[in-house]
């Protein structure tokens, strides 16, 4: 039989489980930090070991099967390097074309500005001449008005004032046009300078990339066979899962690499399982927080309006689902131990992911809690 809890306790139950999910999240996050640290150390040691052993591998007397595998990987690496060189050559051509286009565009911008300059300059000079002529006409009209006699001024007052007003209006229009021409030149110059800056940056960026691509292409081309052999040998060692026929120090070196290959895989799997677990917990916590808002809103209404206290029939399946947090946390709380045992963490994480925290189980939990809350709220109707 499902337990009946009052709404306040149900609200607290939801909040407590959000807290438990967050605590579990932090425990797994600590494991993730530990994994990253130890994986980085192991990877650095592995890279050093593989590089030194690969050099020895190229000059060793190898079993036929290993010789054939080495030759196969060398060919694969040779083809990969050739493809990279071809891609770099295409990239170089593309970047050069981009740089040349930017340079042409910049030159065209300058040419257009030079073409525009005499046109605007001619308009400016024309307007300056017109302005000077209008200024002289205004001065003459003012002088004529002042020099005329009293009777003439009275008779010609309207005509002279209209003429003077027209001259001043025309002059104002000329000055406005002159200002517009001057501002247009300033604006065009600013626009061209801004585009020049962008085009220059594009050209410089393309030139830098061409240099980088060319340097890499030259290096790969000059070292093609050497790199193919070296990388082929490294790939043999990288994918080695058991020690080939060998003895003495040679066998010890291969044994150590096989051991590190296995450890690296365990750490990669562990980090994958960590990321998946954290992702599931993040989604669950977000969903629970949204559900908590609904419960809190209902409880606020009950308290504010002094409504009949609600009782929530808490489903047994929901209780069992949320018991997962404490159980899972007990398995992952020792991050120092798990840090050196990634395989054990992966087993725990995969069990809970496949058995307890599946998408159907999560969906069922939320549906049951929602149904229980809705059923309780129905008592107010």
Comparison of pLDDT for 232 and 118, the residue scoring more = 232
Tell me the per-residue pLDDT of 16-55, one tens digit each, with 9 for 90 and over: 999 999 999 999 999 999 999 999 999 999 999 999 889 8
- Structure tokens given for 86: 């071809």
Reduced to 3 states (helix: H, G, I; strand: E, B; else coil), residue 309 is coil
CB half-sphere exposure, 92, CA atoms < 13 A: 15
Reduced to 3 states (helix: H, G, I; strand: E, B; else coil), residue 74 is helix
| Whether the predicted pLDDT of 3 surpasses 60 | yes
pLDDT band at 290 (very low <50, low <70, confident <90, very high): very high
Strands (E), the chain: 4-6, 311-313
| Whether the predicted pLDDT of 159 surpasses 70 | no
Query: Residue 256 burial by CB count (10 A; 0-12/13-18/19+): exposed, middle or buried?
Result: middle
| Whether the predicted pLDDT of 153 surpasses 60 | no
pLDDT given at position 135: 74
DSSP state of 378: G
Query: Residue 22 burial by CB count (10 A; 0-12/13-18/19+): exposed, middle or buried?
Result: middle
Q: Quick one: average pLDDT of 351-375?
A: 95
Percent of the chain predicted with pLDDT > 90: 59
pLDDT given at position 128: 67
CATH number of 69-228: 1.10.287
pLDDT band at 147 (very low <50, low <70, confident <90, very high): low
pLDDT band at 251 (very low <50, low <70, confident <90, very high): confident
pLDDT given at position 1: 46
pTM: predicted TM-score of the whole model, two decimal places: 0.70
Q: For the chain, which residues make up each domain, given as ranges?
A: 4-58+248-380, 69-228
pLDDT given at position 247: 64
Do 270 and 332 meet the contact criterion of CB atoms below 8 Å apart? no
């Amino acid at each position: 039989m499902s337990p009946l809890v009052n709404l306040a306790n149900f609200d607290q139950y939801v909040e407590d489980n959000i807290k438990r999910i967050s605590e579990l999240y932090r425990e797994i996050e600590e494991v993730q930090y530990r994994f990253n640290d130890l994986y980085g150390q192991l990877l650095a040691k592995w890279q050093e070991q593989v590089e030194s052993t690969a050099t020895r591998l190229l000059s060793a007397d190898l079993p036929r099967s290993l010789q054939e595998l080495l030759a196969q990987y060398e060919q694969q690496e040779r083809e990969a390097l050739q493809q990279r060189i071809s891609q770099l050559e295409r990239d170089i051509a593309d970047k050069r074309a981009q740089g040349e286009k930017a340079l042409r565009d910049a030159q065209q911008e300058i040419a257009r500005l030079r073409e525009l300059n005499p046109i605007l300059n001619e308009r400016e000079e024309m307007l300056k001449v017109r302005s000077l002529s209008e200024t002289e006409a205004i001065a003459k009209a003012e002088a004529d008005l002042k020099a005329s006699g009293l009777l003439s001024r009275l008779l010609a007052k309207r005509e002279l004032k209209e003429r003077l007003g027209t001259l001043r209006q025309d002059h104002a229009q000329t000055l406005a046009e002159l200002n517009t021409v001057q501002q247009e030149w300033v604006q065009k110059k600013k626009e061209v300078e801004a585009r020049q800056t962008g085009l220059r940056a594009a050209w410089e960026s393309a030139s830098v990339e061409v240099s980088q691509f060319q340097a890499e292409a030259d290096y790969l081309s000059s070292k093609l066979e050497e790199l193919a052999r070296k990388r082929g040998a490294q790939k043999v060692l990288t994918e080695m899962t058991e020690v080939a026929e060998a003895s003495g120090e040679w066998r010890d070196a291969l044994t150590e690499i096989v051991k590190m290959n296995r450890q690296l895989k365990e750490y990669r799997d562990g980090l994958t399982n960590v990321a998946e677990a954290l992702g599931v917990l993040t989604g669950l916590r977000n969903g629970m927080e949204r559900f908590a808002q609904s419960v809190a809103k209902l409880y606020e209404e009950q308290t504010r309006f002094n409504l009949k206290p609600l009782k929530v029939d808490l489903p047994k399946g929901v209780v069992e689902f949320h018991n997962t947090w404490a159980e899972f946390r007990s398995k992952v709380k020792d991050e120092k131990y798990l840090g050196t045992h990634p395989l054990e963490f992966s087993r725990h994480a995969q069990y809970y992911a496949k058995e307890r925290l599946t998408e159907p189980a999560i969906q069922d939990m939320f549906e049951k809690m929602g149904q229980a809350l809705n059923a309780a709220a129905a008592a107010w109707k």
